[in-house]
Amino acid sequence: MRDSAAGFPAPRIVSSTADLAQLCDLLKREPFVTIDTEFVREKTYWPELCLVQLGGTRDVAVVDTLAPGIDLAPLATLLDDAACIKVFHAARQDLEIFLHLFDRLPQSIFDTQIAAMVAGYGDQIGYDALVNAVTGGTIDKTHRFSDWSARPLSAAQIAYAAADVTHLRTVYVSLRAELEKQDRLHWADAEQAILTDPTTFRPDPRRMWERLKARTNNRRMLAVLREVAAWREMEAQRLDLPRQRLVRDESLLEIAAVQPATPDALARVRGVTRGFADGASGEGLLAAVRVALALPDGELPRPPRKPDGAKPSAALVAMLRVLLAAKCEQNRVAPKLVATGEDLDKLALGETDLDVLQGWRKAVFGDDALALLRGELSMSVADRNVRLVRVEKDV
């Protein structure tokens, strides 16, 4: 049976281990499989996987991961098969889920959002916009905010979920062909390397304090912040609770400042309840405070390094930004993928140990940026476009 409107097979529901094993055995023979997930996370630290959508050349399936007794081991085997490319759009959350489930990442990943940036479709383009740009089709996002943990699923929910992998097949084939024609497939591979590193999805609890951006140079306070932030991360994982539901950022910063030693003192911190302070979690947090207070001075963290105070010329940075936009327009690649605002600031200050001066970025923008900074390149306007002009310098 086919969905004549979309031209794709009607999705089938997979709710047993045997059916999942049969499906994955078929999909392993495909050159690629498109994958998406639906999950809920509002009340948990770890995403609760509710559906996995899988699309091959002939098969489109919605796997009910909450079906009683289903074992997802066949899916893990499919994800482990390096010969079959796993196609996602904006893969990070999906990959985090699979890493948590199977303790390893899928092999042979292709992220169409990254590929679209390399191919010139803009910065972090959404799935529905990319489908429209590549195929001219539209995605009905009516069920974007569905409760995917509720059962039974409606026919409309299933159709919505399946659309996230059916159209993705056409998008993948088109993008891959574009990148091969432009000789940019290796660009996409380089950008996707971060998705193959488990540490991308497993933050170090001992570094979580850095995200809180405490405005202090007091190293003892920073030590307390480091210990309580690491405790919160591990406790949130253990209890499977969102970090902010366990202890809010603002409360951690206040705890680092006041350094409570007793449940009574902890209960006076804004956002900390009496029940929490008197309970096991409260004792764990107070223990983390005691660890920080007992550290010798030599083991205290240092404040994050601040800029050395040198500020680049705003006009020069603006010129680099125009050059970046012009070169990216000329090469049809997303500017965000080539250089950040921080990169431009550092270039204007004369720094050279930068990613933008390496590999394909150097060829697209870095060489011309250096020429501009040396006074060997100027910019003008011709036919309503930025024109680059080489400058002959006097010897």
Dump pLDDT digits (tens) for 330-389.
Answer: 999 999 999 999 999 999 999 999 999 999 999 999 999 999 999 999 999 998 889 999
Asked if the structure places residue 301 within a domain, the reply is: no
Domain boundary residue, one of 260, 294, 328: 294
Asked if the structure places residue 344 within a domain, the reply is: yes
Are both 187 and 45 inside the same structural domain? yes
Are both 210 and 174 inside the same structural domain? no
Q: 8 and 57 in contact (C-beta within 8 Å)?
A: no
Domain boundary residue, one of 201, 223, 256: 201
Are both 75 and 151 inside the same structural domain? yes
Asked if the structure places residue 2 within a domain, the reply is: no
Q: At residue 86, what is the residue type?
A: K
Number of domain units in the chain: 3
User: What is the rounded CA–CA span in Å between residue 30 and residue 32?
Assistant: 5
Q: Which residues contact 272 (CB under 8 A, 6 or more apart)?
A: 247, 251, 255, 266, 282
Q: 325 and 369 in contact (C-beta within 8 Å)?
A: no
Are both 209 and 193 inside the same structural domain? no
Asked if the structure places residue 6 within a domain, the reply is: no
Are both 268 and 328 inside the same structural domain? no
Q: Which domain holds residue 210?
A: 205-294
The CB density around residue 242, as the number of other CB atoms within 10 Å, is: 14
User: What is the rounded CA–CA span in Å between residue 215 and residue 250?
Assistant: 12
Are both 75 and 126 inside the same structural domain? yes
Q: Which residues contact 363 (CB under 8 A, 6 or more apart)?
A: none
CATH number at residue 335: 1.10.150
- What's the pLDDT tens digit per position in 121-168? 998 899 999 999 999 988 877 777 889 999 999 999 999 999 999 999
Question: What value does the mean pLDDT take over residues 6-17?
Answer: 83
Are both 192 and 224 inside the same structural domain? no
Asked if the structure places residue 304 within a domain, the reply is: no
Domain boundary residue, one of 182, 201, 220: 201
Q: 132 and 138 in contact (C-beta within 8 Å)?
A: yes
Are both 329 and 381 inside the same structural domain? yes
The DSSP 8-state label assigned to residue 298 in this structure reads G
